[in-house]
Amino acid sequence: MNYEHAFHAGNPADVLKHSALTLLLLELTRRQDPLHYLETHAGSGLYTLDDPTGEWTQGIGKLASKSARRKLPELIPYLDFLPWNDGVLGEYPGSPLIAEACLREEDTVELWELKASAEQHLRGLFPKGKGRVSVHGGDGYEAVHRTKIPEGTRLVVHLDPPFEKVDEWDTILHTLVKATRKRPSAVFMLWYPVKEGPPHAGRPEELRSRLEAQKVPGVAVELTSTGGMLAPRTDVPKVRGALLGSGLLFVGAPHRAIAKLGSVLPELARSLARSEHGQAWQARWFGWL
């Protein structure tokens, strides 16, 4: 996999993804049943923001001011998880650290990462002594089907693939359909890119349509830009495409968490806008039964 997490860390896609993940997990922890959080593509977990041209300047860098907290009160828990130092971030935590911060002592965390160097870095963040977090190297998609959890525990799956395989969308569909049939009470959150050109153009719409045909209900939101944004760095020409934004697809998510995300998105879009470049953001919602 060639996805450069360090360059992309903290970008608008991360802000959307981690804001939603925080709202989702905090809502689920309001309930009594314990949670088992499984992440299929966990990355290395923590990223240094030492590139002044990095995409974080378009994302989390826009939320560093005190006014951002006043305008986005629902996102204060997410912003509080970040290691600010006088309004500056030297590092950005990935979703494994954010999930661990959201969850309770009785909840468990299962992290999968295929890239060996990222897996090793992740193990350094979660040594074996931290018993409720386990780190694994291998195929996170298969782990969704194989994981064993105690009766009465709710499974929460975060699918966050790098989308560097042409058949990624088909694998996601197969995973969601199979997993929802096996675990109907589970909660799924998928992050995906919104891109121009093959193989991504039209695939989010196709995924939603095929899930509906398979009677897997859900909701999705896409945050896309007008005025352009940085092109992704990748050595894989088949998946290059122009990145327009990103989306989140939810299955089994609590309505309250989705409602909170919906209430915060308009102001988040305004906060991420770059008026000096003529860039704005727009949110679109999709739902199916």
* Residue 276: pLDDT band with limits 50, 70, 90: low
Q: Over the chain, what is the mean pLDDT?
A: 90
10-35 tens-digit pLDDT: 999 999 999 999 999 999 999 999 99
Instruction: Name which of 106, 62, 98 is nearest 80 in CA terms.
Output: 98
Instruction: Name which of 122, 89, 119 is nearest 14 in CA terms.
Output: 89
Q: Is the CB of residue 166 less than 8 Å from the CB of residue 239?
A: yes
Domain that holds residue 132: 5-288
* Residue 51: pLDDT band with limits 50, 70, 90: confident
pLDDT at 3: 47
Query: pLDDT above 90 covers what percent of the chain?
Result: 75
Given a cut of 80, is residue 232 above it in pLDDT?
no
pLDDT at 87: 80
Burial call 146-162: b when 16+ CB within 10 Å, e when fewer: ebebeeeebbbbbbbbb
* Residue 228: pLDDT band with limits 50, 70, 90: low
CATH of the domain at 171: 3.40.50.150
Higher-pLDDT residue of 236, 93: 93
* Residue 53: pLDDT band with limits 50, 70, 90: confident
Q: Is the CB of residue 246 less than 8 Å from the CB of residue 186?
A: no
pLDDT at 129: 52
Q: Is the CB of residue 114 less than 8 Å from the CB of residue 1?
A: yes
179-192 tens-digit pLDDT: 999 999 999 999 99
pLDDT at 194: 94
Q: Which two tokens stand for residue 10?
A: 């903290």
Higher-pLDDT residue of 132, 131: 132
Given a cut of 80, is residue 210 above it in pLDDT?
yes
Domain count, the chain: 1
76-93 tens-digit pLDDT: 999 999 999 888 899 999
Q: Which two tokens stand for residue 65?
A: 């001011």
User: pTM for the complete prediction?
Assistant: 0.92
> Average pLDDT for residues 233-260, to the nearest whole number?
80
List of residues 6+ apart from 238 with CB closer than 8 A = 166, 198, 199
